[in-house]
Amino acid sequence: MNRFVTAERALRTAAPHQLLDAVRRVLTDQYAADSVELYLADYGLTVLQPVSEPPHTLRPVSVANSPAGRAFGAQEPYAETLSGDLVRVHLPVTVRGDRLGVLTVTLPGGEHADGRFGGHTDGRLGELAEIAEVLGHEIVVAERDTDLYLQARRRDRLTLAAEMQWQLLPGRSCVRPEYELGAQLEPAYAIFGDNFDWSATADRLSLYVTNGMGEGIEASLLTNLAINALRNARRAGLPLADQAALADQAVHAHYRGRCYLSVLMLDIELATGRVRAVDAGSPRLLRLRRGAVERVPFDAQLPLGMFEETDYVAQEFAVEPGDRLVFVSDGVYDVGSPGGEAYGDAALARAIQSTRLLPAAEVPRAVLRELSGHRGRPVPDDDALVVCLDWRGREGPGKAEVKGCE
């Protein structure tokens, strides 16, 4: 049995809370590792938190200016040479594009210069990168049975509303051949109403961006009801407009119009790039195409739950390979500066232009960082949500005809 198979088996048979112990043991025995540490990205995506039993013995490391943060941001292994003929390797821990953290392994072998390396340049390093990927998959499964990894992600205490919202999310990034997705919520530890959801099949991508009214637990409860109603309708195979109608009925039946939720819903055909959209409220969509940023306009429809038995109509447009779509909540475009100037579409367009070279997973955090500068204070008064979709498309038949929103 080769050593990679040994490592994979050790991870798959380990108890949920003992994944780090298992990977440490096998990397020490099979790869002569001197030390092994696991860091998970915190909810704010500012630091990588060490996974260890309390009390924590390691300090968090910065995502912005550390070797581990470099591997996390670039999604490529990064090596640094240490004294004593040792090399420290930082390996991204990622599951289908969802960036969880970094596995840091110290090994003998000072022949590696500082910097990036490819998985094919050294068999040992390639195997380590694969082990980090297996570890990521096992962490996702283990989170059903242990709180260890969710606790490790916390730089601060989550509010109850934020706890409910983060548990509702599908992830913060996703990669497929046709597209890349990234999303982030602020304030990460006190979010209450904004949310996003996505789901893909072989043929379609469904994407929802929601902005619930209210504050605290009430806003989180409203969003939970609406998102689960939308999922219920989607999983029943209903078309987009009917999904909105069913969720509208569920929210209105409970709140009787006292509370409602804004949502922008997209259903994208992966083969053609044809998009069906329902705009029921305040989230906005901006598109970067061939260097120009423009807002994608929709016919406004009523938020979910405002009135009984509202009918919804899906509009159509098309995305082209190379398009970047950026979705934002009103907690982004309505934010005022210290002088009272709203952030607005013009500032958003500048932020989208300035982040155009970043991968989709990095864009939301970068835009929110620019928003913080406009706001003039680190903590927002309202939820802020940014979702970025980079569309690559499939090779095949011609582009979908553009209708409706263009």
| CA 34-36-42 angle, 5° bins | 155
Of the listed ranges 20-29, 87-96, 158-167, 208-217, the one predicted with least confidence: 208-217
Strand 284-289, strand 274-280: pairing: unpaired
pLDDT at 119: 38
Q: Which amino acid appears at position 60 of this protein?
A: P
Residues 184-235: tens digit of each pLDDT: 999 999 998 999 999 999 999 999 999 988 889 999 999 999 999 999 999 9
Q: Let me know: does 304 contact 245? Beta carbons within 8 Å.
A: no
pLDDT at 395: 81
pLDDT at 122: 61
pTM: 0.91
pLDDT at 114: 45
Residues 105-152: tens digit of each pLDDT: 999 975 444 444 443 346 788 999 999 999 999 999 999 999 999 999
Q: Which amino acid appears at position 346 of this protein?
A: A
Here the tokens at position 9 are 């088996």
Strand 47-50, strand 86-95: pairing: unpaired
- Phi then psi dihedrals of residue 318, to 5 deg: -135, 145
Sheet strands side by side (includes 47-50): 61-62, 47-50, 35-41, 98-108, 86-95, 78-82, 115-116
Q: What distance in Å separates the CA atoms of residue 374 and residue 236, rounded to the nearest whole number?
A: 43
> Residue 94 pLDDT > 50, yes or no?
yes
> Residue 260 pLDDT > 70, yes or no?
yes
Burial of 5 (0-12, 13-18, 19+ CB in 10 A): exposed
pLDDT band at 375 (very low <50, low <70, confident <90, very high): confident
Q: Let me know: does 146 contact 16? Beta carbons within 8 Å.
A: yes
Mean pLDDT of all residues in 35-51: 96
Q: What distance in Å separates the CA atoms of residue 166 and residue 148, rounded to the nearest whole number?
A: 16
Q: What distance in Å separates the CA atoms of residue 40 and residue 368, rounded to the nearest whole number?
A: 21
Burial of 297 (0-12, 13-18, 19+ CB in 10 A): middle
pLDDT at 290: 96
Mean pLDDT of all residues in 241-267: 97
Q: Let me know: does 217 contact 278? Beta carbons within 8 Å.
A: no
Mean pLDDT of all residues in 256-283: 96
Dihedral sign from CA coordinates of 162, 164, 168, 174: positive
pLDDT at 402: 36
- For the chain, count helices (H), then strands (E): 11, 18
Q: What distance in Å separates the CA atoms of residue 288 and residue 298, rounded to the nearest whole number?
A: 17
Mean per-residue pLDDT of the chain: 91
> Residue 52 pLDDT > 60, yes or no?
yes
Of the listed ranges 5-19, 270-284, 364-378, the one predicted with least confidence: 364-378
> Residue 54 pLDDT > 80, yes or no?
no
Q: Which amino acid appears at position 341 of this protein?
A: E
Here the tokens at position 4 are 């990679």
Here the tokens at position 129 are 């990168």
pLDDT at 1: 53
Residues 300-351: tens digit of each pLDDT: 999 999 999 899 999 999 999 999 999 999 989 888 877 778 888 889 999 9
Residue of 51, 24, 30 lying closest to 105 (CA atoms): 24
> Residue 367 pLDDT > 90, yes or no?
yes
